[in-house]
Structure 1
């Protein structure tokens, strides 16, 4: 598997018991460049969590940690980043957004980032 897939953790949390937080640790440990967006500013594993939307460049993967209802206002923003793929972690699956991603020719999968990293399928 290719290393350093620049990843946007969308819905990042400072809480160590949250999966987005665990994913940030594991992504950094596995040598991926990580950027993050969340509701609270802070830092996890040396990665600053941004609370305002930025136009990140060269994003390979967006890993989603935000429930479908909360995703809606961000559809256009996320599509405009032109990621290669979006991973919908358990609880974030969103058929409405899936249709928009298909139209924008952006790959998506319903999976768990932690499992993908742990089994070298990321």
Structure 2
């Protein structure tokens, strides 16, 4: 099992969404994850935590984003405050303001695809 605890932001139970695929691939790779979003449910044995509650989470290594820039503003400061080692901005989630805030806190910022990284063994 990996020690790269991953927060999936925008988690969903909808099997046609990339956030769902990411949860499936992380689970299959033995990488621990916490799904967080605005819709309730459970994926791969993990309950989706309500993002609106801004829960206090510890030891997050990676945040992988599946919410677009238009829906990120109210969560940026919260997500940066979790002090992850890195944030993966999946295609369509890129946000220069978010990039700057994360980099200012020493967080690695990647414009990448979690699914491709997992497939290529680069996660």
Give TM-score, length-normalised by structure 1.
0.95
The answer to which of 45-54 and 59-68 deviates more is: 45-54
Deviation per residue, 1:45-81 (Å, 9 max, x gap): 1111011321111000000000011111011111110
Aligned residue for 2:6?
7
CA contact (8 A) 1:4 1:31 kept: no
- In structure 2, distance between residues paired with 1:25 and 1:54: 23
Runs of 4+ residues over 4 Å off in structure 1: none
Give the root-mean-square deviation of aligned CA atoms.
1.1
- In structure 2, distance between residues paired with 1:102 and 1:4: 22
Q: CA deviation at 1:4?
A: 3.1
CA contact (8 A) 2:2 2:32 kept: no
SS of equivalent to 1:56:
coil
Aligned residue for 2:112?
111
CA contact (8 A) 1:66 1:92 kept: yes
- In structure 2, distance between residues paired with 1:43 and 1:54: 17
Aligned residue for 2:62?
61
Structure 1, unpaired ranges of 5+: none
SS of equivalent to 2:30:
coil
Give TM-score, length-normalised by structure 2.
0.94
CA contact (8 A) 1:37 1:53 kept: no
Pairs aligned (count): 121
> For residues 26-41 of structure 1, what are the structure 2 equivalents within 5 Å?
26-41=25-40
